[in-house]
Structure 1
C-alpha cells in the first residue's frame, strides 16, 4: 500500500509560511526595518513605490553580512539571534524566528546587497521564488540594502486582494511610525513614489513625537515616569482637552517593541475618567522596560502580542502613574503656591491722594412695602403672577393671515441656533391653522408633530443628518458660508492624515474651510464654516479624516464619503433649542427627502404613534 503523506517541497512550505508572516506590503516593511535595527544600524532608509506592489527597499548602515551568511539568511529558521531554547525566554532583539527573508523571497523578487566593514567587496544576491538566480561580488557601501520587487507575483489571489494604494500606504506608514517612534537613537528617511515623507534625525523621544505628529503636540504632552522592581515606565501622555474619538494615537512599546494591548490601554483610559467626555480616548506614547524573562513575545508571527507574567501589577502601575502625571503637570500650570495674592497691593505713588470710599443708599426704601421701590432697585415681580399668562402659553397657532408670527429666517443646519423664548412665542401663537402641523420640542432632543391620525416623534439630530447628507451628496452647499479668521493659524496633521487631506482638499473647501497646504504636514487655515469656532474646526477635520481613513476599504466616491462624515459633523445636535420655524423647516425638508425614516447609517429617525393606540391606553 503506497504512502499518502509526504513532505512538502521547500518552495510550497515557504509560501504557506509567507501567508502568516507577510500579509501585505506593510509586513515586508516591518520585517526588514526590524532586521536593520538588529544589525545595529544608525541610519535606515525606506523607499516605496506603488504602495509596495512594485518596490520596497530598505537600506541600512549596519554590520552587513559575508557571502555565506547572506545566502543562508534566505533559508527558513536561519537566524543569528537564537542559539538555544533558553534564548527564547531572554529575547532582546526585534526578530528571532528566522522566517522573514525566506517568506519574502518565496513570493517576490528579492535583490540583496551587503558588505561588512572590513571587506573590500560586497555581495549581490538575487532571489526569485526561494531560488538563487545569481550571486557575485560588487562594490557597495557598508551595511545591507534589500529591494523587494513584484510582491505576490506568484500568488495572484493574494495580490488581487490587496486594497487601494491609499489603504496600503497608510498601513506602511503605520508600520514605519510604530518602529521609528521608539527608536529615536536611529535616523530614518522615508520616500514614497520619489516624494520625501519623513526625514528624522537622532533626537530625544519628545522631539521624535513632535516631528512625526506635528508641532501642536509640543504643548499637549505631559511626561509620565514610574519605576518599580524590574519594571520601568516612561514616555508621554496627552492633556485631557485633546482627547479624540479614536485610538489612533495610542502607542505602547515593550522593550522597544510595538505592542497592542487593550487591557493595559484601559488602565490609562480609566485614569482620565471625569476629565474627558464619554466615547473619547486620550493619546499616549508609553515605553515599558521589563525583564525579558517576565514576558513572552513568541505568541504570533507579527510579534505585536505580548503575554506578561503579572499584567495586573503593570495595570495598576500604569493607572497610578497616569493619575499622578495628570494631577501634577495639569495643576502645576494653573496654581502657584508660592504667591499670596492677598499681599499683591499696588504701591502708593509719591504725592498720590487717598480718597475715602463712598457708599450710596436710599433711606426711603422699605423692602416690606409693595408700594415703594428703590430708585436703583430691580422689579423682580414675576410675569407668571398673572394667571392669564398660563392660558396664553397653552395657545398655539398662526395669526389670521396664516403666517408665522415670528420672523422667517433661512434654516442653516449645524448653526449655533439662538435660544428662543418658548413662552413668548406660544403666547403670541393663536388661531392655529390646519395648514401647518403643530410642532413642539421635548428635552431639546425630539420634535413632536401630528398627522391626520397619528403623532410623530422625530429625533432632531438624525433628521438633520439625513437632510444634510442628501444636500451634500447632491452637491448642494447653499446653506454653508465661510467666516474668515481674524487670526489665521497653522495646524499640523499626522502623515497619514496629511496625504488623505491633500486628496480631499477640493472637496473639503466646499464645506466652508479655507485651507492651504504649507509643508511637512502643516496647513494654513484662514477660514472655517460660520457655525464652527477655530478649535471646533480642527476637531471636525481630524475626525473627518479619521473616519474616511478607517472606512477607506469601502468602495465609494470621495465626495460621498466626505458628505457622509460632514453631515454628521455639521448637523443640529441633541441639546440645541429650536425655534418653531426651525422645527417646521426640519419636518418639511425631512419628508421631502428620499428616505425620511432612517439615517445614512441605517438608524431610525422617527417613530409613529397611532391615535388608536393612544385611545387604547385610556380604555
Structure 2
C-alpha cells in the first residue's frame, strides 16, 4: 500500500515560500526598497499602477550588480549579507535571507535592470514564474530598476483576497511613510498611475526628522512634537513624541524603528502608553517616532517571515528605557493650555437656539437635537404616547432558562412575553444618574439601567439615516477649516468623498496633504469637529476592508454618532434624562447602539424578590 505522505513538487514549494514573504503589493515594495537601502541608495522611486496589481517598479541609485550577481540574486537563499549562522546574531542590513527576489519572481513577471557605477554596460534579466527567460547586456542608468508585473497571476486564490486598488495603494503609502521616517537621509518618490503622490527630498530637509514628519503627516502634527533623547553604553533612544495635547484614537501614528528597521512590538507599544498614563485620556494614543539603536547582538530579527517582529535579549530593560526617555521628554516640556483663536462658524441653527427658551438647558440644545425646527417645536408637556405598528419593534424577551436572541439583546421586563420596547421606554421614570454615565429609571415591574452614551448614539445615528432630516443635518461653515494630514489619509478621503458628503462632510483636496472642510454634520457644531474628523478618518482606515459604498456610509454615520453623543462623565438633570428616553423611544431599534451593543438592562421585581426575600 502506497504511503500518504508525498514530497511536494518544487513549483508548489516555491509558491508556498513566496506566499509567506509576499502577502500583497505592499510586501513587494517593502522587500525591494529594503534591497535598495542595503545597496546604499540615496534616491529611491516607487511607481505603482492599479494599486500594485498591474505594475510595481522600484528604481534606485545604489551600487548596482554585475551580471553574475544579477542572475544569482534570483536563486533562493543567495545573499551577499551573511555567510555563516553566527552572522544571524549580528545583522546590520535590512535583508539577509536571500528570499525577496526569488519569492517575488515566483508569483509575478519580473524584469531587472542593473549596472555598477564603474561599469559601462548593464544587465537585463527577465523572470516569469521563477524561471529566467531572458539574460542580456543593455545600456541603463547606474543602480537597479526592478519592475514587477501581474502580481499573483499564477496564484488565483491569492488574488481573491486582494482589496481594491485604492486600498492596496494606501498600504503601499503607509509602508513608504515608515521608510521615510526610518531613513530621513534618503530621498523617496511615490508615483501612482503616472502621478507623483508623495515626494520627500532629503536634500531639502537636511535629513531632519521633524521635517520628514511634516511631509508625511502634516505640519500641524510636526509642530506638536518634542524631541526624545536617552543614551546608555549599549542603547540609544531618540526621535520625536507628541505633547499631551496631540493624541490619536489609535496607534496608527506610532512608528518604532530598530537599527533602521521599522518593527511591530507589543512591549514597546505598551511602554509608550505607560509613559503617558498620567497625561492623556484613556483610549487615546500619542503620536511617536521612536528610534532605538542597539547592539545587533542584543536583538534577534530572524523570528518572522517579513522581519517585522523582533526579540530583545532584555525586553524589560528596553521597555524601561523607552518609558524613561519619553517621561524625560515630557518633563522638559511645559504644557500650557491654550485657546485657539480661530474663527468659529456662525450657523443659523445656533442663532435660532439662542432665541429659543429651551427648558432643558444648553446640553440638550447642543446635543440632543439635530434640526433647529425640531428643537424649537419640542412640546415639553406633550402626551407620552406613540403608536406602534411595525412588527420589527416587538421582540421576545426570554427568561434565564431560554437562549437570548442574537439580534435583540437589550432590556427585559417580564419573562416569556412579547414586549413593545417603545411602550416600555415611554413608561420609564428616571430617578437618578449613576456614576455620571448611566440613567437609573423605574419601570412598571422593575427598574432599568440605560447607558446615556449608547442611547444618544442610537438617536443621532437614526437621525442621520432619515432622508427627511439629512438636509437639515448639514452645517455649512462660514470659514472653512483646513486639515494638514498625511498622504495616506488624503488618499483615503479622496477615494471616499461621496461617502463623507452623505453624512455632512463636504471636503475638497487642496493639494499635497491639505484638505479643506466646508461643511460638517450639524450635530457636531459645538464640538471639536476637526479632531473628531481626524479620528474618524484614522479609525476607518484601520478597519479597511472590502466595503460597498453603503457600508462605508453606514460606518461613517455610526462614527459620527459615537463621537457626537453624550459621553460618560457628563451630568444630566432629570428633565434631560426624560427627554433622552423620550427621543430613544422614537427610534426603530432602541435596544442596541449602532455598533450592536446593548443600550440597557433591567432587573425585574421578581428577581429582586428572589434575591432579598426568604
What TM-score does the superposition give when structure 2 sets the normalisation length? 0.80
- Give the Cα separation in 1 of the matches to 2:384 and 2:364: 26
Residue 590 of structure 2 is matched in structure 1 by 596
Give 1:50-89 correspondences, 5 Å limit: 50-89=50-89
Structure 1 equivalent of residue 325 of structure 2: 321
Q: Corresponding residue for 2:49?
A: 49
CA distance, structure 2, for counterparts of residue 3 and residue 430 of structure 1: 84
Say whether the 8 Å CA contact 2:26–2:172 is kept in structure 1.
yes
1:539 aligns with 2:525: no
SS at match of 1:70: helix
Structure-1 separation of matches of 2:112 and 2:246: 45
Counterpart in 1 of 2:433? 442
Task: Kindly indicate whether residue 190 of structure 2 is the aligned counterpart of residue 190 of structure 1.
Answer: yes
2:241–2:326 Cα contact (<8 Å) kept: yes
Q: What's the counterpart of residue 500 of structure 1?
A: 492
Per-residue Cα deviation, 1:47-67 (whole angstroms, up to 9, x for no partner): 111121111111111111122
Please tell me the root mean square deviation across aligned C-alpha atoms, in Å. 3.1
Partner of 1:28: 28
Match in the other structure for 1:393: none
SS in 1 for 2:286: coil
Contact 2:367 2:564 in 1 (8 A): no
CA distance in 1 between partners of 2:83 and 2:89 (Å): 12
Q: CA deviation at 1:82?
A: 1.1
Q: 2:556 aligns with which of 534, 543, 562?
A: 562
Structure 2 CA distance for aligned equivalents of residues 128 and 157 of structure 1: 19
Runs of 5+ unmatched residues, structure 2: 339-356, 370-379, 387-425
Helix, strand or coil: the match of 2:528?
helix
Pair 6,199 (structure 1): closer, same or farther in 2 beyond 3 Å: same
**1:238-277 map, 5 Å:** 238-277=242-281
Query: Aligned partners of 1:93 and 1:40: how far apart in 2?
Result: 11
Q: 1:168: which partner in 2? A: 168
**Is structure 2 residue 366 aligned with structure 1 residue 415?**
yes
Structure 1 pair 515/555, CA: closer, same or farther in 2 (3 Å)? Answer: closer
Name the structure 2 match of 1:424: none
Listed one character per residue, the Cα deviations across residues 22-73 of structure 1 (whole Å, up to 9, x for unaligned) are 1111111100000011111111110111121111111111111122111111
Question: What SS is found at the alignment partner of 1:278?
Answer: coil
Counterparts in 2 of 1:459 and 1:47: CA distance versus 1, 3 Å = same
Q: Classify the secondary structure of the residue corresponding to 2:457.
A: helix
The equivalent residue for 2:39 is: 39
Distance in 2 (CA, whole Å) between partners of 1:581 and 1:6 is: 75
Residues in 1 aligned to 2:471 and 2:433: alpha-carbon distance in whole angstroms: 29
Give the Cα separation in 1 of the matches to 2:323 and 2:133: 55
Deviates more, 1:99-108 or 1:585-594: 585-594
Work out the CA distance in 2 between the residues paired with 1:65 and 1:216.
42
Q: Provide closer, same or farther for how the CA distance between residues 307 and 165 of structure 1 changes in structure 2, counting only shifts above 3 A.
A: same
- CA separation of 1:456 and 1:313: change in aligned 2, threshold 3 A: closer
Q: Is the 8 A contact 2:490 2:509 kept in 1?
A: no
**Per-residue CA distance 1:367-388 (angstroms, 9 max, x = gap):** xxxxxxxxxxxxxxxxxxxxxx
Q: Deviations over 1:198-235 (max 9, x none)?
A: 11101312211111110102321100111111211111
- Alpha-carbon distance between aligned partners in 1 of 2:335 and 2:138, rounded to the nearest angstrom: 62
Match of 1:279 in 2: 283
Residue 513 of structure 1: how far off its partner (Å): 4.1
Distance 1:562 1:132 in 2: 49
Call closer, same or farther: CA 1:483–1:430 in 2, change over 3 Å. Answer: closer
Q: Match for residue 462 of structure 1?
A: 454
Find the residue that maps to 1:329 and give its secondary structure.
coil
Instruction: Give the deviation of 1:118 after TM superposition.
Output: 2.5
Answer yes or no: is 1:587 the counterpart of 2:572: no
In 1, the alpha carbon distance for the partners of 2:428 and 2:4 equals 80
CA contact (8 A) 1:413 1:570 kept: no
Aligned to 2:182, what secondary structure does the other structure show? coil
Query: Contact 2:166–2:495 at 8 Å: present in 1 too?
Result: no
Number of the residue aligned with 2:376: none
Pair 1:584–1:225, CA change in 2 (3 A): same
SS in 2 for 1:86: helix
Q: Secondary structure at the match of 1:240?
A: coil
Secondary structure of 1:88 counterpart: helix
Instruction: Report the count of equivalent residues.
Output: 537
Give 3-state SS (helix, strand or coil) of 1:330's partner: coil
**How far, CA to CA, are the matches of 1:26 and 1:239 in structure 2?**
31
Equivalent residue, structure 2, for 1:477: 470
Helix, strand or coil at the partner of 2:210: helix
Query: What do residues 235-264 of structure 1 show as CA deviations (whole Å, max 9, x unaligned)?
Result: 111111112221111111111011111112
